[in-house]
Amino acid sequence: MPVDESVSPSLEIAHVLFMDVVGYSKLPMDHQQSVLSHLMEAVRRSPHFMRAHKNGQLISLPTGDGMALVFFGDPEAPVRCAMELSHELRAHPDVQLRMGVHTGPVYRIADINANRNVSGGGINIAQRIGLNPEIVADARAKLTSQAQDVGRFLDRLHSDLREIDNERVQIRRQEQELALERSHLAAEGKKEQREKIRELEKKLESVLRDFEYRARETVNAVQDRAQALKLSKDAERRIAKMRREFREQFDSTVVAHSTGADQGDHRAAPHVIQQVSVGDMVRLKSLGRDGKVLRQLDDDSFEIAVGPMKMKVARDDIADVVVRVGGDPVSAARARGINVALAREDESVPTEINVIGQNVDDASRAVEKFVDRAFLAGAIRLRVVHGSGMGILRKALRQLLQSHPHVATVSEPPQNEGGAGATVVELRT
């Protein structure tokens, strides 16, 4: 449609879709014509192309091996048109198309043939988004001298902006290096102080773990409802005493660390057990369970087995030595002044009992006596064979064992050791 040249053009924002055929100049002439025909048919079938053309919001500019579609109004139109072309050209794999999208200011003008055309910086700036140089050169050839001057000015402006950005990056890098140097100097100045603080924290952590363990043991001692009334006053006295001892120990630890009086003196930490030997049964503060010392790793750590687990334990996590190596619970109790008498001390106690065929009452009495004798003899692991059957006897015995004061854990053995027909018992040590 011809454009009235008497009307002064106004600057508008255009949304341009540039496209060209890859390797067009290397194609045979008949193949070039075929490729361009497929491309133009695909463009004409594009819904966004047809809509913009119908509304007078589109100017199409051929570029020899491609074209430029200048959309007005809808900024998403070139992108959606490009997506529609990509989908349409899947049926023509011989048409290898390269596309680019740009938005910028242009003027609507008339060319030498009085056909609609555009000029302005919008086309000139398109080169900066990575469009094909041939498309940009062809588009620039259609610019007016004024638009070309604007384009060259914008080129210089962007070059200056890039230099400013580079200088800003260098200044930011220098600021980061200075901040890092200041941090390094501050860290060096406080390194010795932080090491002392960490050492003090480790010592106080050991004191706190010991307090938590003793508090937990005190709470466990009063959980039995039958004895709660008798032990309530005693528990209050014990907790008050523990608080007082903890405060005294806490204060003495801080003072000794600050003055350096605890250096090399194991008596400065009375809550830490010093005499621990390989083979001893010890009580752990963190787990509240007993374990066997397998080996000493260094002056302050041991390898200890708790049931099937092996773990590395610090010396200050050991609450007490329950049984010394070579001893048993009876000997340990007698060493503490507790009078223990066994009916037959020379008789060995078995670690397995078979109650298959017995009723629940008889089997419960037999298992209870069996567990008591085994505990006094120093046994650790027992096996109760009750058979599978209807599961009544198994359920009753496992409930009995779980509530027994000498039993630590109750579990079902693997299939090759009896499976559901037996129960494995771990005794407290």
* Domain annotation covers residue 158: no
Residues 38 and 83 in one domain: yes
Q: Do 359 and 268 share a structural domain?
A: no
Mark whether 283 and 256 lie in a shared domain. no
Identify which has the larger pLDDT, 402 or 116. 402
Residues 23 and 111 both lie in one domain:
yes
Is 120 part of any domain? Answer: yes
- Specify the higher pLDDT residue, 348 or 398: 398
Q: Where is the domain boundary, 272, 288, 310?
A: 272
pLDDT tens for each residue of 56-81: 888 888 877 888 888 988 888 888 88
Domain count, the chain: 4
Residues 381 and 295 in one domain: no
- Residue 1 — pLDDT band, cuts 50, 70, 90? very low
What are φ and ψ of residue 108, in 5° steps? -85, 120
Between 209 and 47, name the one with better pLDDT.
Answer: 47
More confident: 188 or 382:
382
Same domain, 279 and 386: no
Reported pTM = 0.30
Are 237 and 291 part of one and the same domain? no
Helix or strand or coil: residue 99?
strand
Say if 337 falls within a structural domain.
no
Residue 127 has pLDDT above 70, yes or no: no
Structure tokens at 137: 């050169």
For position 382, which CATH number holds?
3.30.1370.110
CA 247 to CA 404: how far, in whole Å?
37
Among 224-228, 373-377, 397-401, the minimum mean pLDDT is found in 224-228
Task: Specify the higher pLDDT residue, 150 or 278.
Answer: 278
Query: In this structure, are 88 and 202 located in the same domain?
Result: no
Q: Are residues 312 and 202 in the same domain?
A: no
Q: Which of 332, 330, 317 lies closest to 280 in space, CA to CA? A: 332
pLDDT tens profile 209-250? 777 777 776 666 555 554 555 556 666 677 777 777 777 777
| HSE (side-chain half, CA atoms, 13 Å) at 141 | 9
The answer to whether the beta carbons of residues 18 and 126 sit under 8 Å apart is: yes
Q: Which two tokens stand for residue 36?
A: 């361009």
Q: Which residue has the higher pLDDT, 408 or 204?
A: 408
Report CA torsion sign: 80, 81, 86, 87: positive
The answer to whether residue 208 sits within a structural domain is yes
Q: Tell me what pLDDT residue 222 has.
A: 54
When pLDDT is averaged across residues 136-144 and rounded to a whole number, the result is 58
Mark whether 378 and 392 lie in a shared domain. Answer: yes
Within 8 A by CB and 6+ apart from 178, the residues are none
Domain that holds residue 100: 11-143
Contact 81, 42 (CB under 8 A): no
Whether residue 16 is found in the same domain as residue 139: yes
- What mean pLDDT value characterizes the chain? 76
CATH number at residue 81: 3.30.70.1230
CATH number at residue 297: 2.30.30.30
Query: Which of 28-42, 153-167, 254-268 bottoms out in mean pLDDT, i.e. has the lowest?
Result: 254-268
246 and 362 inside one domain: no
